[in-house]
Amino acid sequence: MRRTEACKSLYRNADRINRSSLHLAFAFFLCCLLSAPDIARSADITPFQTFNQSPLIQIFGLPAAENAILQPAGRTLTLLGTDIANNFAHDTARGERILLDGESYRLTLGLRRGVTDKIEVGMDIPLVGHGAGVFDHFIEGWHDFFGLPQGGRKEAPRNRLLYTYSRNDREQLHLDDSSFGLGDIRLTGGLQLYHDRQPNPRAVALRASIKLPTGSSSKLHGSGSTDVALWLTASDDYLLPGPWGHLTLFGATGGIAMTNGDVLRDQQRNLVGFGDLGFGWSPAEWIAFKTQLSGTTPFYQGSTLKELNAPSLLFTIGGTLAFSPNTALDIGVSEDLAVSTAPDVALHLGLSHRF
C-alpha cells in the first residue's frame, strides 16, 4: 500500500521517540497543568463525547452518553471531536478467522441548539478514515510500561492496515486501502425530564438520535443501515467541603434499533443495548479530572469470536480544561477492558464552545 511522504516522515520521527522521553513529556505536561494559574472558569463535568471506535462498531449509531443538562433556549453548543484509535486483534476458531490491524480516525463537527428550556436539537457530521498509522511503537511501549499484554503485537508487522474476516473459508470482509471521507450523519434530540436548577445540579434527560447511511460502507465509513438510538442520561453534582471543589456522578443507559446494513449483513444484530457510568472531580474552576466505563451488548451474532460476538467494555480516563466560561477542551485516553472488543488504545480530543 502506498504511503505519502508525509506519513513516512511522521513514522520515522515517531519511531525514534523512546518510551522514556514520552513518559517525561507526559509528566512535564501534567505538572504544567497542575501549576497553571486560575485563568478560566467553569470546568463542567460531563461524559466524554466519544464511544467505541472499533472499525466494526463505530460505523453504527452508537451514541456518546452526552450531558444530562440540555442547552438553554436560544443557546448553541458547538463541538469539534477527534478520535484516533489503534486497533490490533486477531483470533481463529471453528472455521472463522479475523484480523483487525490498523488505525481509525474520526473527526466530528457537532451542534446542539436549545429550542426551549426543555427541548434540544442537534446534528453530528463525521469524517471517518482508516490507515496504517504511526502509533504502533508507542502503543507497544504503553503496554510494556503498564504491564499490559501485547496480544501478539510485537510479532506482527508494524504500521499495517488490514481488516479481514473469513468464515467457512469464505472472506466476508477485506479492507487494506487507506481512505478518509464523510461518515454517517446523525440527527439528535433531547428532552429535559428533570433539572433542579441548583448551584450543584441534579438532572435527567431523555435523548435520541437517528443515523443516516451517508458514509461508504465498503470503506467502513458507515454501515449502510439507518439506526435509531434512545437513551436516558443523568448526572448529580456534589459540593465538597473546604477547598476540594466539586464531584459529579454521571451515567446513561439505552438501546439502538438498526436496519440491515452492508457490513457482515447476515450476522448483524438489529437491537443493541449500551450504558455508561463515570465520575469527575474538579479541584479548581479551570480543570476537572474524570473517568468513565462504557459497555455495549454485541453488534454481531453467529460467531464464536469475541471480536464480533462478545459484550464490549471500555475504560476512559482524562479530564477537561476550561479556557473560558464557554470554551473547554476534553482530553481522554481509552483502553479495552474486555480485550479485543474495542481498540487497544484510543485518544479523544473534544473542543466545545457555547454561544
**C-alpha cell at position 82:** 477527534
Q: What is the pLDDT of residue 150?
A: 54
User: Which string of b and e fits 214-238 if b means at least 16 CB within 10 Å?
Assistant: ebbbebbbbbbbbbebebbbbbbbe
Place of cell 481512505: 179
Letter for the amino acid at 228?
Answer: V
Q: Is the dihedral of CA 16, 21, 22, 23 positive or negative?
A: positive
Which domains are seen in the chain, by residue range? 5-354 (2.40.160.40)
Three-state DSSP class for residue 287: strand
Place of cell 507526559: 26
Q: Could you give phi then psi for residue 131, rounded to 5 degrees?
A: -155, 175
Q: What is the pLDDT of residue 44?
A: 87
Residue 239 neighbours by CB under 8 Å, 6+ apart: 199, 200, 246
Q: What is the DSSP string of 193-260?
A: EEE---SS-EEEEEEEEEE---S-TTTTS--SS-EEEEEEEEEEEEEPSTT--EEEEEEEEEEEEE--
Q: What is the pLDDT of residue 94?
A: 86
Q: What is the pLDDT of residue 154?
A: 57
Element (H, E) at 4: none
Q: Mean pLDDT in each 10-residue stretch from start to end of the chain (355 residues)?
A: 40 36 40 43 84 97 97 97 93 93 96 97 98 71 61 65 94 95 98 96 98 97 98 97 93 98 97 98 94 98 95 97 94 93 94 96
* Calpha distance 105→108 (Å, rounded): 10
